[in-house]
Amino acid sequence: MSSPSRRSSSPESNIDGGSGSGSAGDERKRKRMLSNRESARRSRARKQQRMEELIAEASRLQAENKRVEAQIGAYTTELTKVDGENAVLRARHGELAGRLQALGGVLEIFQVAGAPVDIPEIPDPLLRPWQSPFAPQLATAGGMPDAFQF
C-alpha cells in the first residue's frame, strides 16, 4: 500500500491528470521518470543476462571438473599399475644381482684353484640402456643418423 503523502508514479496519472497546467516542469519530470524506468528495465535485463551467463559457466566448470576427476582417476590407476610393475622389476633385479654375485664368487674359486676360465665378452644392451642396441647396425646399414644424436 502507498502512503497518503506519496503520489502515484505512473505516467498516465501525470499526463493530463493534473490541474490542466501542462507546465514544462511536469513534462521534464514525466520524461525523467520514463527515462529512469527504461534505465531500470535495461539494468534488470543486464543483471538477468549476467546471471544466466554465470549459471552456464558454473555448469561448464562442473562438467570440466568431472572430466578432470575422471582423468585423474585413470592416471592414478595407471600409476598404481606402473608402481606394481616397477616393484616386480626391482625384485627381479635384486634376484639377478644376487645370482651374478654368486657366479662371480664361483669364478673366483676356479681362478684361485688354477682352473683355466675363459669367459667371452657378451655385449649386453641392458647394461647400457642409454645406447641403442641397433646403433651399430644403422651406421653400417646405409649411414642413417642416430635418432638420439644432436
Q: What is the domain partition of the chain in residue ranges?
A: 25-116
Per-residue pLDDT, 149: 46
Instruction: Give percent of the chain above pLDDT 70.
Output: 64
Cell (9 digits) for 80: 598404481
Residue 59 main-chain phi, psi, to 5 deg: -65, -45
| Main-chain dihedrals φ then ψ at residue 107, nearest 5 degrees | -60, -40
pLDDT, tens digit (0-9, with 9 covering 90-100), for 47-80:
999 999 999 999 999 999 999 999 999 999 999 9
CA 81, 84, 88, 94 torsion-angle sign:
positive
pLDDT band for 148, please (50, 70, 90 cuts): very low
Q: What CA–CA distance (Å, rounded) separates 131 from 139?
A: 13
Where does residue 23 fall: left (phi above 0), alpha (psi -120 to 50 degrees), or beta otherwise? beta
Q: pLDDT, tens digit, for every residue of 118-137?
A: 766 766 666 666 666 555 55
- What are the grid coordinates assigned to 71, written together? 582423468
